[in-house]
Amino acid sequence: MTRSPIIFIDGEAGTTGLGIRRRLSSLPVTLHTIDPKHRKDPIARKEAMIQADLVVLCLPDDASREAEAMVATMGKNAPRLLDASTAFRTDSKWVYGFPELVPTQTQAIATATRVSNPGCYPTGAIGLLRPLIDAKILPTDYPLCINAISGYSGGGRSMIEAHERDGGPAFILYGLTLDHKHIPEICQHAGLTRRPLFVPSVGHFAQGMIISIPLHLDELNGTVTAEDLYTILKNHYNPPTNKEHGARHTTEQEQKMVHVIPPEKTLLDKILSAETLAGSDFMELRVHSNPHHKHVVLTARLDNLGKGASGAALQNIKLMLGFN
């Protein structure tokens, strides 16, 4: 009888680690844990890593780099790594864990020894931009402004405690040095050659996220309509299953993590609530438009703890262990 894969979550007590642990209950895996009082003990951690087939790092950046260096000394006993920090997201030796990025990405993740889990904000921004850049509709040097709002649960313990107290801040605009650590990740994996303006914020709600990107249609390559943008996104994430026009998607495709919302439904979205997908591992993409003014706003809605963190990690774990 084949044994179940062994997973060790290094940093399982944090928000992302707890989310991954909860989701792993749906998989035929063995979760290896260590006594909480030894979670920062390098010897105990190394012993746990040696026993594991896959180690999920839910640590600060520097601690993730130290853990990766520790694994590098293990030789044949080294486990595969999935890292949830920002430490390796632009490292060419690591595979970027966004399965929907390009057609070859799923296989690359499945066979990789080291996978970096995407950031929550970049997931939405890259999800909107990369297909348009690959289709050569959106210039790589377009002067982009990426606006985003997230629930406070992604901001760490001190932010969570501040928001859960009576009188917690209703809205925070931050990153005003215009040098947010997610920008290099967005540039590299979206394919941008010009650094975008990135304006993140946090609202007084626990989970959920919206990324919005305004575009001027007359500044894009060629004569482009909002319907063209929708079609490019739709064909990228939900391609037709056969040559018949209008063929119905298979059940597998309908269960994909990225949903492109049709224009007729988007027209009904006079407002978008960031909390709608809280608790979900899906992401919704929309193209909002005003043809008269040739204006478009692209939006991505997701749960910052779902497709933006633990849900994406589960997706990558399933690929790496051959469960998809």
Which positions are catalytic? 120
Integer-rounded Cα Rg, in Å, for the chain is 20
Nearest alpha carbon to residue 260 among 286, 299, 241 = 286
Q: Could you tell me how many residues make up the chain?
A: 324
| CB-CB neighbours of 262 under 10 Å | 12
Collect all residues with Cβ–Cβ distance below 8 Å to 241 and sequence separation of at least 6. Answer: 247, 248, 249, 250, 253
**What separation, in Å, do the N-terminal and C-terminal C-alpha atoms of the chain show?**
21
Cα of 60 vs its chain's centroid, Å: 17
Burial class for 135, CB neighbours closer than 10 Å (0-12, 13-18, 19+) = middle
CB 214 within 8 A of CB 295: yes
CB 263 within 8 A of CB 288: no
Q: Report the DSSP beta bridge partners of residue 290.
A: 295
Pairwise CA distance, residues 226 & 248, whole Å: 23
Q: Starting at the edge strand that comes first in sequence, how are the strands of the sheet with 30-32 ordered?
A: 30-32, 6-10, 54-57, 80-83, 114-116, 95-96
CB 189 within 8 A of CB 98: yes
Q: Which amino acid is at 31?
A: L
CB 34 within 8 A of CB 10: no
